[in-house]
Amino acid sequence: MLTIHYLLSDGSRCSCTDAQPGSSVMENALWLNVAGIDAECGGACVCATCHVQVEEAFLAALPPPDDMERALLASAILGHSPRSRLSCQIAMTPALDGIVVHVPAH
């Protein structure tokens, strides 16, 4: 089992301690009802309602965003940064165990 920490815009924290390898950060957020991760498209990478900011320490363990994710972030997220990712595109691996993502306010 892998762990994901969600830091919410109100300063609270929610953690998933039983994420399965291969499951997405978004899927685990939906199972936990994490406020701010709406995932309106269900993980199809077309809505950006699962946007998160990944803690710097975990960026190197992530594969780079593909062209579709990069374009969606650029068009849908005002002020996106190199830490901006769509949580539906982050598949959990042992290298990401303990990942910390910030859930921006809508």
Number of helices followed by number of strands (H, E) in the chain = 3, 5
Contact present, 19 and 95 (Cβ < 8 Å): no
68-96: average pLDDT: 94
**What does the pLDDT average to over 75-93?**
93
- Give the pLDDT band of residue 80 (cuts 50, 70, 90): confident
Where does the pLDDT of residue 103 fall: very low under 50, low under 70, confident under 90, or very high at 90 and above?
very high
What distance, in Å, lies between the first and last C-alpha atoms of the chain?
30
Tens of pLDDT, residues 13-40: 999 999 999 999 999 999 999 999 999 9
Its pTM stands at: 0.94
